[in-house]
């Protein structure tokens, strides 16, 4: 039973443009949401997070938006850079700190 879904397996974007990654979840008990970035042969690296009491969190080029009523979050990367090419995982957690991940979205930034 997959509780976190990333419905777009891949995304291709021009360098300098905005990348928008989407994530949906089903468990209303989730109260903390994270995005991880993963390069080949490496482990996931924490990128940005948001708690359920907020609807937006920004860190440099990365902004995460949370819509609790729709059980939807998104990650915006602007401007996109070649080094942003990676697999991005959405993850969610409740009070037990156990992370539920989506299947990932592979982002390719074209020069």
Q: Is 2 in the site for other proteins (CB under 8 A)?
A: yes
Tell which one of 8, 32, 57, 79 touches other proteins (CB under 8 A): 32
Please, is 50 exposed, middle or buried when counting C-beta atoms within 10 Å of its C-beta (0-12, 13-18, 19+)? buried
> By C-beta, is 80 or 93 nearer to other proteins?
93
> By C-beta, is 2 or 67 nearer to other proteins?
2
With CA atoms as reference, report the closest residue to 26 among 89, 88, 90, 76.
90
CA–CA dist 50, 33 (Å, integer): 5
Interface residues with other proteins (CB under 8 A)? 2, 4, 32, 34, 36, 41-46, 49, 89, 91, 93, 96-104
């Amino acid at each position: 039973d997959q509780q976190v879904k990333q419905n777009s397996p891949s995304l291709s974007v021009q360098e300098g443009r905005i990348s928008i990654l989407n994530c949906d979840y089903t468990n209303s008990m989730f109260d903390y949401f994270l995005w991880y970035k993963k390069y080949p042969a490496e482990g996931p690296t924490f990128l940005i997070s948001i708690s359920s009491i907020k609807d937006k969190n920004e860190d440099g080029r990365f902004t995460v938006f949370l819509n609790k009523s729709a059980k939807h979050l998104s990650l915006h990367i602007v401007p996109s850079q070649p080094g942003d090419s990676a697999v991005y995982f959405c993850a969610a957690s409740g009070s037990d700190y156990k992370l539920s991940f989506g299947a990932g979205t592979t982002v390719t930034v074209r020069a």
